[in-house]
Structure 1
Amino acid sequence: MSNNRGHLMIKTALHAGRIMIESGSEVARVEDTINRIAINAGFPDSKVYVTITGMMMSISGEENAQIEPVSSRTIDLEKISLVNDYSRQFAAGSISLEQFDDLLTKLEQNPPYFSFWLQLISAGLVSGTLEVVFRNNYQDFLITCVIGLIGWAVFYGVNQLARVRFLSEFLASVAIGAMAILAVRANLGNSVDDIIIGSVMPLVPGVPLTNAVRDILAGDLVSGIARGIEALMSAIAIGSGIAMILQVL
């Protein structure tokens, strides 16, 4: 029975950790959550090793180590919050270990996403607002909102159609750059630079870059450097798309 419960504990803890890593959590938070799950399940002597590409966990003195690969990463802070809520409920005894694992499975099967239209509207408002904040250009607020909205739609659509890393950022930035140039030429906007700066803001990998710094400061050098390179590649894809369209048009 102890071996079965230990196996279930490791399975549940790694399941929770994988969801958190895939949703953009920093490594230190994932390690803390996994360790708390182990302690609350009655296994305080468990060992866990976490990176952004995979996790390994075992119980000292038992032959039951398990590995959990992490194949995709995005930003979904609501998922991270829900996993932490489930962990607190388990710690309080409100749910059992089996119920905890079932809740994690349901969370993956029915993720609480915002609707596509709400994402579009939010991306547009963020683009226009940050364009005003960064450039103090009120005249281009509306056109920046529209272009930022369309750019996010391109980003979202490419992500759904082609699972190729950094392609969505590149194509979205190309579309943003082209629309900004054409809008100014059609006298719908005043400054190409200001419109582009505001419109690409929803694409900028701010959370991954922040988590990379936090991982490095926490001593998780492998994950911090890997996440930093990933954020840098996204930034390069965005910059390359803008640079290419500026040269073409």
Structure 2
Amino acid sequence: MEQQKHYDIMEVCLLAGKLLLQNGAETYRVEDTMRRMAASFGIEESNSFVTPTGIIFSIETDEPIETKLIRVSERTTDLQKVTSVNRISREISFGNLSLKEAYNKLKEVENSKTSFSFLSQFIAASISSGCFLIMYNGNWNDFISAMIAGGGGFLSLGYFHRLVPIKFFAEFMASIIIGLISIGLVHIGLGHEIDKIIIGSVMPLVPGLLITNAVRDLMAGHLLSGQSKGAEAFLTAFAIGSGIASVLIIFK
């Protein structure tokens, strides 16, 4: 019976860690949350090893406990889910949730839809593209053009990612679409400064959170995770840059 409880604790901790890692949390936050949750359920010694693609977790007790490994193949950015898991973790630390209640709440977070619809994300990407253009000293006459190019890039990113679930390919194709739309808008006279339009339009694709997490993981001593996230951010930046460069070389 006691051993079964230990396995249940591992399941809860691993589920929390998986949700954090999948939705954009830093590696050290994942490990710290899992350790605190295990301690709240009476496990004084626990060990975890977290990388961007997997979690290894074990607890030390008088009885032999097998180490468990889970694979994390898909990652996105949903800070609402990260906040929800942190809130559940705090409730566990305060003793307000039992093991079963914590597991059920975590499953609810896992099965919940994103808090923003695709239409809301599309509108936000479009408006932010125009705002980035102004931030980079662009002309207000190009605001609409940046919105159109940025929105088109965001739509194409979602489409190509569903068509071919390879992040690099989707980002490369989205940047090509942004470049083509920007050149087309300038050609018909709706846009004026093509460089500012492109810069503003690609900003929603830039992996800002990934770069931030890579730096924070490196500073926290998680060298493997920091380097891998940095490499992923570099590939994204390379995909964006190469896509725009290809369009400019061919059509400009």
Q: Same fold (TM over 0.5)?
A: yes
Q: 1:77 aligns with which of 72, 76, 79?
A: 79
Percent identity between the two aligned chains: 39
- Tell me the CA shift for residue 94 of structure 1: 2.3
> Which residue type is aligned with residue 36 of structure 1?
R
Where does residue 135 of structure 2 map in the other structure?
133
Where does residue 48 of structure 1 map in the other structure?
48
How big is each residue's C-alpha offset from its partner over 1:17-74, in whole Å with a ceiling of 9 and x where there is no partner?
A: 1111111111111111101100001001111111111111111243221111111111
Where does residue 59 of structure 1 map in the other structure?
59
> Which residue type is aligned with residue 152 of structure 1?
F
Q: Structure 2: give runs of 5+ residues left out of the alignment.
A: none
- Tell me the CA shift for residue 246 of structure 1: 0.9
Q: Distance in 1 between matches of 2:135 and 2:159?
A: 28
> Which residue type is aligned with residue 153 of structure 2?
G
> Which residue type is aligned with residue 105 of structure 1?
K
Q: Distance in 2 between matches of 1:18 and 1:170?
A: 28
Where does residue 113 of structure 1 map in the other structure?
115
> Which residue type is aligned with residue 148 of structure 1?
G
Q: Distance in 1 between matches of 2:95 and 2:212?
A: 34
Give the 3-state SS of the residue equivalent to 2:115 in structure 1.
Answer: coil
How big is each residue's C-alpha offset from its partner over 1:154-177, in whole Å with a ceiling of 9 and x where there is no partner?
A: 112222332112111111100000
Give the 3-state SS of the residue equivalent to 1:48 in structure 2.
Answer: strand
Where does residue 248 of structure 2 map in the other structure?
246
> Which residue type is aligned with residue 5 of structure 1?
K
> Which residue type is aligned with residue 11 of structure 2?
K
Q: Distance in 1 between matches of 2:87 and 2:188?
A: 51
Q: How does 1:88-237 map to 2 (within 5 A)?
A: 88-237=90-239
Q: Distance in 2 between matches of 1:8 and 1:63?
A: 12
Where does residue 35 of structure 2 map in the other structure?
35
Where does residue 17 of structure 2 map in the other structure?
17
- Tell me the CA shift for residue 78 of structure 1: 0.8
Give the 3-state SS of the residue equivalent to 2:58 in structure 1.
Answer: strand
Q: Structure 1: give runs of 5+ residues left out of the alignment.
A: none
Matched positions, count: 249
Q: Distance in 2 between matches of 1:7 and 1:65?
A: 10
> Which residue type is aligned with residue 195 of structure 2?
D
TM-score by length of 1: 0.96
> Which residue type is aligned with residue 221 of structure 2?
G
> Which residue type is aligned with residue 241 of structure 1?
G
Give the 3-state SS of the residue equivalent to 2:136 in structure 1.
Answer: helix
> Which residue type is aligned with residue 74 of structure 1?
T
Extract structure 1 runs of 4+ deviating beyond 6 A: none
Q: CA RMSD in A?
A: 1.2
- Tell me the CA shift for residue 97 of structure 1: 1.3
How big is each residue's C-alpha offset from its partner over 1:193-227, in whole Å with a ceiling of 9 and x where there is no partner?
A: 11000000000001001100100010000000000
Q: Distance in 2 between matches of 1:29 and 1:75?
A: 15
- Tell me the CA shift for residue 90 of structure 1: 1.7
Q: Is the 8 A contact 2:26 2:213 kept in 1?
A: yes
Q: Is the 8 A contact 2:138 2:193 kept in 1?
A: no
TM-score by length of 2: 0.95
> Which residue type is aligned with residue 172 of structure 2?
F
- Tell me the CA shift for residue 148 of structure 1: 0.6
- Tell me the CA shift for residue 112 of structure 1: 2.9
> Which residue type is aligned with residue 192 of structure 1?
I
- Tell me the CA shift for residue 116 of structure 1: 1.1
